[in-house]
Amino acid sequence: MDKYEYWSGLPEVGIVPRAPHAGPLLRHVYEQEHGRGGFAGKVTHTYHLYPPNNWLADETRALDLAAWAPAWDSPLRPLGGTHHALSVDVGGPDMAPDSPGARKRPGAAGALLGHADHDGDVYRGMARLIANATAAMNVTAPRGPMDYFFENHGATMVFFIHQGGGTLDTLLGPLEYRKGDFLVIPKGITHRFDPAAGPQHYWMYESGAGDPQKAESPSTGRFITHSESDYRFPRSLETRNEAGRFEIFSKVGATVTRRVHPTHPFDVIGWRGDYLPYRLAVEDVRPLSADRSHVPPSGHTVFTLPGCYLCVFTVRSVEKDAMWLPFFHRNLDYCETLAYHWGDFFSGGGVVGPGMVTVHPVGLPHGPKPAALRKFMDGANPGVHHEVAVMADFANPAMISDHALGLSRPDYMAAWSAYTTDSRFTFDPNRLADVRALGERLGDARDSLAPPD
């Protein structure tokens, strides 16, 4: 049974001393602290067979990120004025082969994501799409396992597994993952992805100024939109007592440092603490819904990050007696990204498909596509929103990368063009009079679910 309960205070696994920094065991093993907030925040202690800084000094190298993972360092440009739909899907349906954007889309995931000249693992194939001062969105489509270990010293990472699955091996033990999972990997934790066979496509959100916090509304509390008990933490250790040459790459900003150790980095015989990697399955997101109003996107927030919030639009009941479409809006402080995972995508109006990412810059109005709005105005109600998408909104100023611009569909601004051609939406000399008459009749009307007068 995939269940993990901690019965006492701080979680712990394996062999640990009576308390951190205390007890005779510390004369025989090597304690290491992984801590946030100076020495006063979340912390985990690991207990090692060998000193954690037993690197081979002659082999330590600092590398440019641009050489090690070229698309991760893709230059950033100011963003505004137009919306973008990015065709970062791996084999999904979308662009016609003769469209201008198709030149940028060689078809193979590796080439698409800019790592054609090596094996394309999770990190060397990472491509930056959007970033602000404290958070970023990236995408990767790994084609093989990592033959090294990785530590992100600059950010805690939130992965969403759009396609694929495998094992995330960490210093604190393994986590199995599959399609639809979030994986949170705290800053500095040594790890390695071992993807299973088959296509892999992940979105990765970096939080540079603080760990993601579980979103909770003051009035709805701990269990909407998910519960902390939905998190799955490592619960087993496979301690490795191995000699050899073990490469660890660590990243901070645009610098990657390689170091080599003579013993396996997963030589941990026990750990204790609350600074941990974890998994959250999207099926365990239980969304807030409302029959008589439209829940705004922020009502679907699962994680807040400094400068960013992450929302999940998942399968849920359609509003019965209210707008079941997004209202037209302009988000005046945040650039919105929406990554489409599965489903009908009612707001997309058939324009977007799985794997694609839309980018709606700060201030620029947007809303339902005309086809979807027509259905709503005609009184249709689909009953259930069959969709899963991940929205990440980035506080302004947000920037877009050259890599993302190369994937941008040239036709996306035309997705709303029926508003200028469909006679239902275009100029009508009688429109003002008609709406005044409707206002007389409907302006003060209530929906049918309201209590009686």
Tell me which residues touch Fe ion (CB under 5 A).
336
Place of tokens 């993952």: 177
Please give the residue whose beta carbon sits closest to Fe ion in the complex: 336
Residue 258 CA to residue 323 CA, distance in Å, equals 53
Q: Which is closer to Fe ion, CB of 239 or CB of 298?
A: 298
* Dihedral (Cα; 437, 441, 446, 449), 10-degree rounding: -110
Q: Of the two residues 169 and 336, which places its CB atom closer to Fe ion in the complex?
A: 336
Q: Are 249 and 20 in contact (CB under 8 A)?
A: no
Least separation in angstroms between CB 394 and Fe ion: 12
State how far the Cα of 287 lies from the Cα of 278, in Å rounded to an integer.
Answer: 20
Q: Bridge partners of 268?
A: 48
Please provide the DSSP assignment of 139-203 as one string: EE---S--SSEEEESS-EEEEEEEE-EEEEEETTEEEEEETTEEEEE-TT--EEEEE-SS--EEE
For 120-156, the three-class secondary structure string (H helix, E strand, C coil) is: CCCCCCCEEEEECCCEEEEEECCCCCCCCEEEECCCE
Question: Closer to Fe ion at the Cβ: 149 or 346?
Answer: 346
> By the 8 A CB rule, do 119 and 143 touch?
yes
Which of residues 6 and 328 has its CB atom nearest to Fe ion in the complex? 328
**Cβ at position 329, least distance to Fe ion in Å:** 6
> End-to-end alpha-carbon separation of the chain, Å?
53
Of 77 and 329, which has the nearer Cβ to Fe ion?
329
* Paired tokens of 176: 């199995």
Closest distance between Fe ion and the C-beta of residue 287, in Å?
A: 17
CB of 137 to Fe ion, least distance (A): 15
Q: Which is nearer to Fe ion, 201 or 409 (CB)?
A: 409
Measuring CA to CA, which residue among 203, 124, 160, 130 is closest to residue 404?
A: 130
Instruction: Give me the least distance between CB of 331 and Fe ion, in Å please.
Output: 6
At closest approach, how far in Å is the CB of 338 from Fe ion?
7
Residues with Cβ within 8 Å of residue 91, at least 6 apart in sequence: 109, 199
Looking at the Cβ atoms of 267 and 336, the one nearer to Fe ion is 336
Report in angstroms how near the CB of residue 335 gets to Fe ion at its nearest: 10
